[in-house]
Amino acid sequence: MKSYLPLILGMMLVTYIPRLLPLLIITERPLHPFFKKFLLFIPYTALSVLITRGMMEATGGMQLVTFVGLGAAALCSWFKGGLVLSVFVAIVASFLSLQIL
């Protein structure tokens, strides 16, 4: 079998370094208020983009299933609240729509 060690080590470096550098550089450093505000918006914008990407990347019949699951999570979270409950409802909704579709 071929050795993938060079690939794995290369991927490790290009994954770890972007995760590490900002933490080392920015933590406990005074920041310009605009930059700080910018950084505090990232959780919302990043998740919005990741959710959209997840729906677009699903292929064929899975697209509808993903849409049903995420719709169920959104509705449950909006009207009822609770992280675990919403995720559970989404998994059940996805599973059921997979059985029907």
Partner 1 sequence: MFNRSHVLLSLKEGAISGLPLVVGYFPVAMAFGLLAKNTNISLQDSSLFSLVVFAGASQFMALDLINAGMTFGNIILATFFLNLRHLMMSASLSVRLQAIQRHWLLFIAFGITDESFSVSSLGDKTLNAPFLLALHGVSYSSWVLGTVFGYLVGTILPVSVQSSLGIGLYAMFMALLVPALKKSSQLLMLSIFCGILYATISYLKLIPDSWCLIAVIITASAIGALVLKDELLEVTA
Closest CA to 63 of 75, 72, 53: 53
Closest CA to 84 of 54, 63, 92: 92
Minimum Å gap between C-beta 80 and partner 1 is: 10
Minimum Å gap between C-beta 84 and partner 1 is: 7
- Cβ-contact 17, 25 below 8 angstroms: no
Minimum Å gap between C-beta 48 and partner 1 is: 4
